């Protein structure tokens, strides 16, 4: 299966000559006019990226030099014994509206778990946390070196923090982020002030930022309480979801909060009055070109990550589409 996927990856990049961006040393270099273009992975590569090594191969092939890595591949690389399904919806949050998952369809409303299923999940999570609390950081440092040696920086570690975690559990997450070289942990925006207060306090204790990601549950001031609570609470802004959620351009928000933004997610969506669908870049109403040009003009320091969510066109594949998104960004910044 792995060989088949690797062959598919190579074949899918045929015809993309000139889309791979490298430095003089032959390593990935996706920095255009001072703006670092990255990707959230493995999400954006869909089913093509079963592990951290495969994700790295795709990044190098595409010439992408910075990445937000999700905990699934990070912990699998380190030898985690079990993988849980998606975490429960955080208190005060909600799952994404239309266009959330790959393919652009609205996610199904999860049915309530039976008592037996809840107990099975509880035991699985308990087993995973036992492994986490005993895990050495050596494998995470090894993963960082593997990526860095190939020319890729892991700038963010995605992990869904909960306010009911113990101090030791928080320490595990932030220590993994440090071992990876990440400056911040990304997670869904929790609208419960007690939650962001606790999370911000733990982030400050470990000197690692937490950047809260939005779907369509937000208003322009939804981050304000968290930002006031701790200087280690920050923003991971999804510009497409913000457009649909607020009906407003994300540009004024970015101008106002730029010094609290640690990374953004790039996607194109139609406005609410046009259905809010995820669409190929340049076909929707999200001002992607203008956002990127503003980042370059004002020298904003945070990376902009490709989040591939629109339906894959017939005859294409995730790698080709990520490459096209990267080319869109390069052209916008030329």
Q: What is the pLDDT of residues 38-59, one digit of tens each?
A: 999 999 999 898 899 999 999 9
Mean pLDDT of all residues in 111-134: 88
CATH of the domain at 265: 3.20.20.150
Phi-psi region of 282 (alpha: psi -120 to 50; beta: other; left: phi over 0): left
| Residue written as token pair 């005993």 | 134
In a domain, 28, yes or no: yes
Non-local (6+) Cβ contacts of 247 within 8 A are 271, 272
Residue 212 has φ and ψ, to the nearest 5°, of: -90, 125
Does residue 5 lie in a domain region? Answer: no
Q: Is residue 9 within 8 Å of residue 318, measured between CB atoms?
A: no
Q: Is residue 4 part of a domain?
A: no
pLDDT one-digit tens code per residue, 58-79: 999 999 999 999 999 999 999 9
Structural domain tally of the chain? 1
Q: Determine the Cα–Cα distance for residues 76 and 287; give it in Å rounded to an integer.
A: 36
235-249 pLDDT per residue, tens = 999 999 999 999 999
Phi-psi region of 307 (alpha: psi -120 to 50; beta: other; left: phi over 0): beta
Domain that holds residue 183: 23-333
pLDDT at 4 over 50: no
How far is the C-alpha of 93 from the C-alpha of 234, rounded, in Å?
Answer: 16
Give domain status of residue 2, yes or no.
no
What pTM, to 2 d.p., does this model score? 0.87
66 within domain boundaries: yes
Could you give the CA distance from residue 105 to residue 117 in angstroms, rounded to a whole number? 26
In a domain, 1, yes or no: no
- pLDDT of 285 over the 90 cut: yes
Per-residue pLDDT band for 13 (boundaries 50, 70, 90) equals very low
Measure Cα distances from 311 to 103, 278, 280, 317 in Å: 4, 8, 8, 10
Regarding predicted confidence, which is higher, 84 or 255? 255
What confidence score (pLDDT) does residue 6 get? 38
- 314 in any annotated domain: yes
135 belongs to a structural domain: yes
């Amino acid at each position: 299966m792995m060989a088949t996927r690797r062959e598919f990856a190579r074949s899918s990049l045929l015809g993309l000559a000139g889309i791979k961006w490298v430095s003089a040393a032959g390593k990935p270099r996706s920095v255009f006019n001072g703006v670092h273009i990255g990707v959230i992975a493995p999400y954006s590569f869909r089913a093509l990226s079963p592990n951290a090594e495969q994700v790295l191969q795709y990044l190098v092939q595409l010439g992408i030099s910075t990445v937000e890595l999700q905990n699934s591949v990070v912990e699998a690389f380190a030898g985690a014994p079990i993988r849980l399904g998606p975490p429960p919806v955080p208190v005060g949050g909600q799952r994404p509206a239309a266009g959330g998952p790959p393919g652009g369809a609205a996610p199904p409303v999860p049915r309530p778990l039976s008592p037996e299923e809840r107990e099975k999940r509880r035991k699985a999570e308990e087993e995973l946390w036992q492994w986490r609390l005993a895990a050495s950081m050596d494998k995470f440092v090894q993963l960082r070196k593997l990526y860095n040696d190939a020319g890729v920086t892991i700038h963010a570690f995605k992990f869904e923090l909960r306010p009911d975690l113990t101090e030791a559990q928080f320490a595990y997450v932030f220590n993994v982020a440090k071992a990876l070289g990440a400056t911040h942990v990304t997670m869904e925006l929790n609208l419960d002030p007690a939650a962001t207060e606790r999370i911000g306090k733990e982030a400050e204790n470990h000197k690692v930022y937490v950047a809260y990601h939005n779907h369509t549950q937000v208003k322009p001031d939804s981050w304000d309480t968290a930002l006031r609570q701790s200087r280690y609470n920050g923003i991971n802004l999804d510009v497409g979801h913000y457009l649909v959620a607020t009906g407003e351009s994300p540009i004024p928000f970015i101008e106002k909060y730029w010094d609290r933004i640690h990374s953004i997610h790039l996607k194109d969506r139609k406005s609410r009055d046009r259905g809010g669908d995820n669409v190929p870049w340049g076909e929707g109403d999200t001002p992607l070109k203008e956002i990127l040009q503003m980042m370059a003009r004002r020298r904003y320091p945070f990376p902009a990550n490709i989040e591939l969510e629109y339906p894959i066109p017939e005859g294409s594949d995730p790698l080709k589409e990520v490459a096209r998104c990267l080319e869109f960004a390069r052209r916008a910044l030329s």
